[in-house]
Amino acid sequence: MMGTRAILFEAPGAFTMEQQQRIWALMDHAGNRADIQELVPGVTNLLLIFNRSPEDLEQIADWLRNTWESLPPRQIMGRLFEVNVRYGGALGEDLAAVSAHTGLPPKEVIRLHHEGEYTVCAIGSAPGFGYLHGLNPRIATPRKSVPSLNMPAGTVTIGGMQAGISALTGPNGWNSIGYTEICLFDPYRSSPSLFAIGDRIRFRPESIEL
């Protein structure tokens, strides 16, 4: 339970694209229930917010488990975004730390980062921030023990097995490796968040400063 009207379902196992696609399938199926007010997909989890406090929690838990076991993964073929990145420099100051952690030269970290194709698994943490699946395991790097206090919006980052782009300026514990000019969140747009779940991202080197 999360408060009195919400239940958080967490998928078992590792963070894989198939597990995320099953979360999307569960989200679609749960959307048919009349007693649910809102659904919030996360990274291999789903928050179900009910119209009122559920009376029989075990019944809902059983329904979630059975539905999870029976539903096939749901494919979402979103839009493709090509994102130009200025790698390294002052706005990619953690590139050296990623290089040291992985044992790879900075240019190899950059190559492995921009050669992948990423999928937006969920939007959250900050308005417009997309959690990206598809990072090459060779450059996976744990989040920093001491976060940056004022990381600019547009910073291209690595956090564990995930990639991202900072949506807002502020504290951030992910590793900065570059910068892009795109605006991920604009409250005045008809769709304030630029990305949506299922969208695909390809990074393109605009410049490299080592």
Domain boundaries, the chain: 6-70, 80-209
What CATH code would you report for 6-70? 3.30.1360.40
Task: Please tell me the predicted confidence (pLDDT) of residue 77.
Answer: 87
| CA distances to 61, 77, 82, 98, 163 from 202, in Å | 38, 14, 5, 20, 11
By the 10 Å C-beta count (0-12 exposed, 13-18 middle, 19+ buried), 205 is classed as middle
Task: Please tell me the predicted confidence (pLDDT) of residue 14.
Answer: 84
Task: Please tell me the predicted confidence (pLDDT) of residue 104.
Answer: 98
pTM of the predicted model as reported, rounded to 2 decimal places:
0.92
pLDDT at residue 8 greater than cutoff 90: yes
Give the model confidence (pLDDT) of 40-53 as tens digits. 999 999 999 999 99
Task: Please tell me the predicted confidence (pLDDT) of residue 15.
Answer: 86
Report d(CA 99, CA 97) in Å as an integer: 5
Residue pair 98/158 in contact by the 8 Å Cβ criterion: yes
Choose the CATH number for 80-209 among 3.40.50.410, 4.10.520.10, 2.40.100.10, 3.40.50.1000: 2.40.100.10
Task: Please tell me the predicted confidence (pLDDT) of residue 206.
Answer: 97
Asked if the domains at 6-70 and 80-209 fall in one CATH topology, the answer is: no
